[in-house]
């Protein structure tokens, strides 16, 4: 039997350590992919701010809205779109971490 640099038991330990590192890396990557999928699934809410005679009203964004366009106010008056913005829903995990 040819002699090796390391005893058999040491080679077995090295193999198990490498196997453990590979499993850890795969689990970490799977967690990161799951988190990315959750972020992609979250819907971003878009809102439009309408200026009606100095009062601001917020409504959900409608396709075709743009800043400066005329829009209907709640009191059936004419106003214009002042701002369009988006809000991302709060992350459930971040709420738990803050508490």
CA angle centred on 86, ends 61 and 51, rounded to 5°:
55
What pTM was estimated for this model as a whole? 0.50
**50 membership: H or E segment, kind and range:** strand 45-52
Question: Averaged over 26-38, what is the pLDDT?
Answer: 94
Q: Say how far apart CA 79 and CA 53 lie, in whole Å.
A: 7
Whether residue 28 is predicted with pLDDT greater than 70 in this model: the reply is yes
pLDDT tens digits, 43-88: 788 999 999 988 899 999 999 999 999 998 887 888 999 999 998 7
């Amino acid at each position: 039997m040819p002699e090796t640099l390391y005893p058999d038991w040491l080679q077995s330990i090295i193999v198990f350590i490498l196997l453990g590192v590979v499993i850890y890396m795969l689990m970490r990557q799977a967690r990161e992919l799951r988190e990315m999928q959750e972020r992609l699934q979250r819907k971003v809410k878009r809102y439009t701010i309408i200026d009606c005679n100095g009062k601001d009203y917020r409504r959900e964004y409608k396709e075709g809205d743009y800043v400066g366009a005329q829009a209907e106010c709640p009191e059936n008056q004419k106003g214009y779109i002042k701002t369009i913005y988006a809000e991302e829903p709060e992350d459930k995990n971040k709420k738990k971490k803050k508490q």
